[in-house]
Amino acid sequence: MLGFDERRYGSVLGGAVSLRPQIEKLAAEIVAAEPNTLFLVGSGGSYAAMWPYEYLLTTRSALPVRSVIAAELVAAGNRQLTERSVVLLSSLSGTTRETVAAAEYCRARGVRTIGMTGDPNSPLAQVVDHVLVNPADDETASESYDIQLTLLSAAILHSLGEFDTYPRFAEQMDGIEAVLRAVQEQADPVAASFAARHSTTEYHMLVGSGPLWGFTYNYSMCILEEMQWLRTTRVHGAEFFHGSLELVERDTSLILFIGEDETRPLMDRVRGFAERYSDSVTVFDSADYALAGIDAEFRGLLGPLVMDSVTIRLSKHLEQVRDHPLDLRRYYRVVDY
């Protein structure tokens, strides 16, 4: 596969899975603390990566969960943030200044913190109470985050008595590397075809819902805009009807991310409209992938991980046909901001 580093891929995904004992211990401690709110805090892609798990927990438990932008938390505060709160913060480098500042803000208020990072010696790792460390890079960060957050959310639900089949799910997650590698292999020719067809397309409309809404936002902003300098609009599947559909023309590129969760009917509605009025609709549906070894009842939980694997293929092929390296930036961490 184009640009696929087998050794790095195995190391990152294996590393994330190996954190399960530590993750389960943290989940039990979070539930035992009976927090008034579990805050999920990040910046940019690390913030959007939290949304699927806010969705998962708020739709399956009564535990109050909120995702918050790190810089906004420090600037505006939050009355729900108290010594009874638990805060999970993520930054792959561990140096994102807004996220580090949010961790310091929480520590100064006696709030329990957990950090997710790729560097055990980073500023974030040094300031939080507990740290989950898994080295990764921009191409594997999404899988690393999503494996850890999937396991953490599921383990929290299990500790709350809301997920009795968690042990079976966790055992199946031990084999997730092979599952996602197979997804990449299947998606690669589809991604190559998309990239060839859209090598000069400058605008895409991306739509997703439920646990794939955060993913859709992330891929639109942090990959297509930041890493490919493409103009995009990201729209929630439930909100597509309220305005965005008026922008659809015959040549409008629509990219639809569809999962196997309870919001699938929202995306079926979008798909029906899109395919009627545009000749440039691309559908990425997790149901198209076998996910060997994953029971049907768990497939809806893995939507973000499946789409991580699909879209890294898309990103690598866009990088090639557009001759635009994924690590090329004009402003981000290049100029002072």
User: Do 224 and 266 have their domain in common?
Assistant: yes
User: Do 262 and 316 have their domain in common?
Assistant: yes
How many domains are there within the chain? 2
Strand residue runs (E) in the chain: 38-42, 65-69, 86-90, 112-117, 130-133, 203-208, 231-236, 253-258, 281-285
Does a structural domain hold residue 69?
yes
Alpha carbons 171 and 174: distance in angstroms, whole number: 5
Does a structural domain hold residue 326?
no
pLDDT score, position 138: 87
Does a structural domain hold residue 232?
yes
For helices 20-32 and 166-173, what crossing angle results, to 10°?
150
Hey, what are 290's tokens?
Answer: 């076998």
Does a structural domain hold residue 329?
no
User: Do 243 and 256 have their domain in common?
Assistant: yes
User: Do 135 and 242 have their domain in common?
Assistant: no
Question: Could you tell me how far CA 114 lies from the centroid of its own chain?
Answer: 18
Residue 123: domain span? 6-171
User: Do 107 and 186 have their domain in common?
Assistant: no
Among 146, 171, 196, where does a domain finish?
A: 171
Q: What is the DSSP string of 3-31?
A: T--HHHHHHHHHHHHHTHHHHHHHHHHHH
pLDDT score, position 337: 85
User: Do 182 and 126 have their domain in common?
Assistant: no
Among 149, 171, 193, where does a domain finish?
A: 171
pLDDT score, position 98: 97
Does a structural domain hold residue 128?
yes
Does a structural domain hold residue 327?
no
pLDDT score, position 179: 98
User: Do 217 and 138 have their domain in common?
Assistant: no
pLDDT under 50: residue ranges of the chain: none
User: Do 108 and 66 have their domain in common?
Assistant: yes
Alpha carbons 214 and 206: distance in angstroms, whole number: 11
CATH of residue 216: 3.40.50.10490
Asked if 188 and 318 count as a contact pair (C-beta separation under 8 A), the reply is no
Does a structural domain hold residue 125?
yes
Q: What angle do CA 74, 71, 118 make, to 5 degrees?
A: 110
Q: What angle do CA 232, 225, 39 make, to 5 degrees?
A: 95
pLDDT score, position 57: 98
User: Do 229 and 155 have their domain in common?
Assistant: no
User: Do 111 and 186 have their domain in common?
Assistant: no
pLDDT score, position 173: 98
User: Do 232 and 149 have their domain in common?
Assistant: no
User: Do 273 and 215 have their domain in common?
Assistant: yes
Does a structural domain hold residue 1?
no
